[in-house]
Structure formats: structure tokens, C-alpha cells
Amino acid sequence: MNNRIKVIMLWGVFLFGMISHTLLAVMPVFWGQSVAMTQEQIAANPMAPMMWMMLFFFLFPMIMIVLTLSIEVKWCRITNLVLSLLFTLMNIWHLIDHLGESPVDSCQIVLLTFVLISGILLNIFSFRWMKKQGDQNVRK
């Protein structure tokens, strides 16, 4: 399997991980618990910017999947690498943020750790794909 296919698959894993992260956050609703933010949390994080940030985390992996499937040019490979590094850094920050919560949600920590490992693999394969002149140089 070549690096380009690995990049596409790992963007999909990242996207699925973020969707799963969101679903895990609202699961307590099914047991009658509230997942509503406190007034202090709302004041610190107004909802509109949060919604745009979530859209960013869901939309950009989809865009990168489509671009990676459609375009085999250097700028696309560089953009892919830069975005994969950015997403990995954001994931590290988010994991640390969750570790600072009380109580710590171990399910989220396991999921975010897996997403982080997948992100690191995405960085590695994105770098390898960027260095290639095209898929014809891939070793079998």
C-alpha cells in the first residue's frame, strides 16, 4: 500500500476519532445525566466559536481526503503535511486539556491517545508522500 493511500486512510481514522470523541461526550444523556456546560464554561467558551472549531475539525479531514484522492501535486502534499502536523499539535493540546479535567474521563483519554498515535502515523506517511515525486516511485 503506498503512502498516498495510507494518508487517505489515516485522515479517515482521524475524522472517525473526532466524531467518536463528540459522541462519547454526549453519551451520558442516554442515562439521564446532563452534559450542559456551566455558566462559567459558557462565558469562557461562547458556543459559536466552538461550533466553528468543530466544523474545522470535521471538514478539513474530509477536504484533505478529497484533495489527496484528486490531486497529485507538490503543493497538495505540502499542505497535507502542514495540516496533519497542525492537527496532531491540536490533538496533543486537547488530550492534555482532558487530563486536567476532574474527574478524568478515561474513555476519552483512551480514544484521544489512539487518535494521537494515528495522527503521528499520518505525519510520518504525509512526510513520506510529500518527498515522493509521485506514486510511480513507490516501492512494492
Quick one: average pLDDT of 109-128? Answer: 97
Please state the domain count of the chain.
1
Domain that holds residue 96: 3-17+48-132
pLDDT in tens, 43-73: 766 666 777 888 888 999 999 999 999 998 9
**Mean predicted lDDT score pLDDT of the chain:** 87
Under the banding of pLDDT at 50, 70 and 90, the label for residue 42 is low
- Indicate the DSSP class of residue 132: S
Give domain status of residue 103, yes or no: yes
Has residue 10 been placed in a domain?
yes
Residue 76 lies in a domain: yes
Residue 27 forms part of a structural domain: no
In the block, residue with C-alpha cell 464554561: 41
Least Cα distance to 57 among 29, 25, 32 occurs for 25
Is the pLDDT confidence value at 134 over 80? no
* Helix (H/G/I), strand (E/B), else coil: 88: helix
35 domain residue, yes or no: no
- How large is the average pLDDT for residues 2-6? 95
Give a yes or no: residue 116 inside a domain: yes
- Give the CA radius of gyration of the chain: 17
- What digits encode the pLDDT tens for the residues 70-95? 998 999 999 999 999 999 999 999 99
